A = this chain, B = another copy of it.
Amino acid sequence: MYKELTKEQLLAEKEKVQKTYDEYKAMGLKLDMSRGKPAPMQLDLTEDMLLHCLDGEYVSENGIDCRNYGVLDGIYEAKRLFMPMLGVGRYELIVGGNSSLCMMYDSIARAMLLGVLGGKKPWGKYEHVKFLCPSPGYDRHFAICESMGIEMITVPYKSDGPDMDMVEKLVAEDEEIKGIWCVPMYSNPSGITYSDEVVRRFANLSPKADDFRIFWDNAYCVHHLTDTPDTLLNILDECKKTGKEDMVYIFTSTSKISFPGGGLAVLAASEANINFIKNQMSYQTIGYDKLNQLRHARFFKDFEGIKEHMKLHRAIIAPKFKVVLYMLEKEIEPLQIGEWHKPSGGYFVAFNGLPGTAKRIVELCREAGVVLTGAGATFPYGKDPEDRNIRIAPTFPTVDELAKAMEIFCTAVKLASIEVLTK
């Protein structure tokens, strides 16, 4: 345990760690743990979707020629894949294009320009627009807000979700708070899943703004890593119980089920919201790529097919998470210079070092050839107040590359920690 060592002992330790680090650095490695990117082997799992799924038959079950114009909200067989996945009905979702990020961005752009159902005026007509940003969170969520000049208010996480006392208080007081970002299951990056109580408190929110929306990015709802997966309460059902079903937009995609950038994205919400959004959207496009929707529907057949398919992904990526956790437990835990949640699913391990070490760890890793997500990226404006959170994305490298990368990571953590402790 580093904290119990004297300064002299720490400096002696530093000499050893520095030597190890220099050896790694001399190897000139190039390893990438920066983004939640599936490995090529995962993409091979859906190859048949590209090779044989359509096989000359392009007409949907209900007679739509998927090669031609039409069907703004997606073909029915594609909707049917996602209805049980998100627990919503046929008129409560839109199957869109290749990017749920794009659906989220567009939802905010429409809210800014045109307004949302029940709102007095477009968000953009308010002098300030604010979003609550539970952090650490997903950097691309925060970037959307930043690009549109939406002020971000950081909300800390507890072990079972955002600090709901703070969320409840803020939304009830401030009409300028128009939304909150949530990754409710296997959260990006911390890996936690919101408890039933947290979901119920979300469904019970009483925002001062009449045009407030919960952005519920359920990106990892079927991305389990263990036999005892987390479970998440259905937010739309809970909102129906409180009569606030128009308060939530739900997003998901197959980016990490089929192909990132070549999959399907989904927006789910109350029927009233969906009808309102479809009307706004009808000015933007005639429809999304139905051929790709058909490919997905034919390949997976139904939600059971998706669940079975995700076991194949798990077989490939669970060992990678094991490597990350094994290395952290072996190298870091005994020294008590870091914390992390052991996720039951998702794509990330969030590492919290000693305060003031994250930037330095990322820098040391980069200089030794290991690319990590930039320190601070998981907080609004890229500013981690304690400079301690680092997102580790283990899926893309091979197990061997990952083991090497984690050796370097742990060495960098030790070095940065000693530097801070001896300052």
Q: How close is A280's CB to chain B, nearest CB, in angstroms?
A: 7
Decide if A356 is an interface residue (CB 8 Å cutoff). no
| Residues of B close to A119: CB separation below 8 A | none
Q: Which residues of chain A from 120 to 176 have any CB-CB distance to chain B below 8 Å in the complex?
A: 124, 140, 143-144, 146-148
- Most chain B CB neighbours (cut-off 10 Å) among A97, A102, A255: A102
Decide if A316 is an interface residue (CB 8 Å cutoff). no
| Residues of B close to A255: CB separation below 8 A | 69
| Residues of B close to A98: CB separation below 8 A | 97, 288-289
Q: How close is A284's CB to chain B, nearest CB, in angstroms?
A: 4
Q: How close is A216's CB to chain B, nearest CB, in angstroms?
A: 19
Q: Which residues of chain A from 218 to 267 have any CB-CB distance to chain B below 8 Å in the complex?
A: 255, 259-262
**A68 and B259 form a contact (CB under 8 A):** yes
Q: How close is A386's CB to chain B, nearest CB, in angstroms?
A: 26
**B50 and A51 form a contact (CB under 8 A):** no
A143 to B50, CA, bound (A): 36
A102 to B260, CA, bound (A): 21
CB 8 Å contact bits of A255-297 with B (1 = contact, 0 = none): 1000111100000000000000000100111111111100000
On chain A, which size bracket covers the interface? 35 or more
Decide if A47 is an interface residue (CB 8 Å cutoff). yes
Decide if A198 is an interface residue (CB 8 Å cutoff). no
**A68 and B261 form a contact (CB under 8 A):** yes
Interface stretch, picked from A35-43, A76-84, A181-189, is A35-43
Could you show 18 A-B contacts with beta carbons less than 8 Å apart?
A38-B68, A40-B65, A43-B68, A50-B54, A51-B55, A67-B259, A67-B262, A69-B260, A99-B287, A101-B285, A105-B284, A109-B109, A140-B283, A140-B286, A260-B286, A262-B289, A289-B292, A292-B292
A-B interface, 10 closest residue pairs, ranked by CB to CB distance from nearest:
A147-B283, A105-B284, A43-B67, A69-B260, A262-B291, A102-B285, A98-B289, A99-B285, A67-B259, A261-B287
